[in-house]
Amino acid sequence: MIVAMEAIAVVLAAGRGLRLGANLPKAHVRVAGGSLLQWSAAALARAPGVSGVLPVVGPDSAARVAEIGAGWKGPARLLDAVQGGEERQDSVAAGLRAIEAQAPDAEWVLVHDAARCLVTPAEAAEALAAAQATGAALLVAPVEDTLKRVEDDRVTGTLDRGALVRALTPQVFRVALLRQALERAEADGFRGTDCSSLVERMGVEVRTCPGRAENFKVTSPPDLERAEAILRRRAAEDVT
């Protein structure tokens, strides 16, 4: 059960996405009539328990952010976008500073990658509920492929995939906890690939909950085609 406390979804959209091959930042690439950022923000805005959505964008994104605001339906409010940093961790820190300025009473933060444009409101709500126990939780998906350890182009071992999962987003934390984790990482010179890794190294228990296979990260043109097909299918299902 979600406790009635303010939760803000921070949508990370400052990456360049070079592998996608577009001539604009990946988060602003359009699919099925909207940008990746628009789809992600709209889904999080409909998640029970989320009261605000805050985009963290790259430079020269004002016009595209204004487009999102013009068509905003909520029900969560759209907070003022802020500019991210060079790396993901820097963008998360920028998002937390913006929360402190725009939603100082927020206790929870959901950190989501805009490139995961197929996230559902239900997934976000489930991750928020899972975080209530320890202050930290993330969506995960099973590892379906066999994983090999390789050194110098030679296989040196096979990993037990039964104990492994893929980390998805959103990842949910108490605002104060994530802020502390970022400050400690900065002091230690540690750079993590996700927010959970920052919190884990503090010894905090991070809970997990199942995410959907469709909540994948768009990184290449085939991913974009797949996302397009899924979004159009969902639209057709809603009509019927």
Tell me the pLDDT of the chain (240 aa) as tens digits.
344 469 999 999 998 766 676 778 889 999 999 999 999 999 999 999 999 999 999 998 989 999 999 999 999 999 999 999 999 999 999 999 999 999 999 999 999 999 999 999 999 999 999 999 999 999 999 999 999 999 999 999 999 998 899 999 999 999 999 999 999 999 999 999 999 999 999 999 999 999 999 999 999 999 999 999 999 999 998 754
Check residue 19 and report its DSSP letter. Answer: G
> What's the CA gap between 196 and 136, in Å, rounded?
8
Q: Which amino acid, residue 205? A: E
Find the Cα–Cα–Cα–Cα dihedral 217, 132, 192, 120, rounded to 10°: 10
Instruction: Walk me through the domains of the chain, giving residue ranges and CATH numbers.
Output: 7-140+167-239 (3.90.550.10)
Classify burial at 214, counting beta carbons within 10 Å of its beta carbon; exposed 0-12, middle 13-18, buried 19 or more.
Answer: middle
> What's the CA gap between 180 and 186, in Å, rounded?
10
Angle formed by the axes of helices 36-45 and 62-70, nearest 10°:
40
CB neighbours of 222 closer than 8 A, spacing ≥ 6?
none
Classify burial at 99, counting beta carbons within 10 Å of its beta carbon; exposed 0-12, middle 13-18, buried 19 or more.
Answer: buried
Q: Which amino acid, residue 94? A: A
- Tokens of residue 45, six digits: 């805005």
